[in-house]
Amino acid sequence: MKHQLTGCLLLVAVSAITAPAKAADRYEDDSAARAVLECHARYAQTYATIRPIFQASDIAIGAKAHCIEQMREFERHVREDASGSGKAVWMMPAVADRYLGGFHDYVYAYTVDQYVKAVAAATAH
């Protein structure tokens, strides 16, 4: 049982760390998404250099709270009409919800990845 749990934890960690590399292209042309990711990366890098003792998941949760304004702007952007009129897209909320859910998952994995890399770089010296 102990080995199965260790294997599951390892799989989750590897998935979280490799997810950013696989999905990076999806969001790079979206300025609102980039603002969220840049905020999360700055938060992760700051805590990695100041106090690299936190769990990466704690950093991802803290970054979510710290970057809430950027996330709200991204969510507004996703729900905005493609015509740019600023009207909410009410006809397909399930699609927007799935897209936003995927982005939230990606941002979490991205933040974990940024923190782990920054801690490794800070402690390598």
State whether residue 83 is helix, strand or coil: coil
80-112 burial code (b ≥16 CB/10 A, e <16): beeeeeeeeeeeeeeebeeeeeebeebbbbbbb
Helices (H), the chain: 2-27, 31-50, 56-66, 68-79, 93-123
pLDDT tens, 80-104? 754 455 555 544 677 788 888 999 9
Q: What are the residue ranges spanned by the domains of the chain?
A: 2-123
- What is the per-residue pLDDT for 98? 85
Residues 6+ apart with CB under 8 A from 66: 39, 43
Taking the C-alpha atoms of residue 68 and residue 89, their distance in angstroms, rounded to an integer, is: 22
- What is the per-residue pLDDT for 30? 82
DSSP structural state of residue 54: S
pLDDT tens, 55-89? 888 899 899 999 999 999 999 888 775 445 555 55
Taking the C-alpha atoms of residue 63 and residue 68, their distance in angstroms, rounded to an integer, is: 8
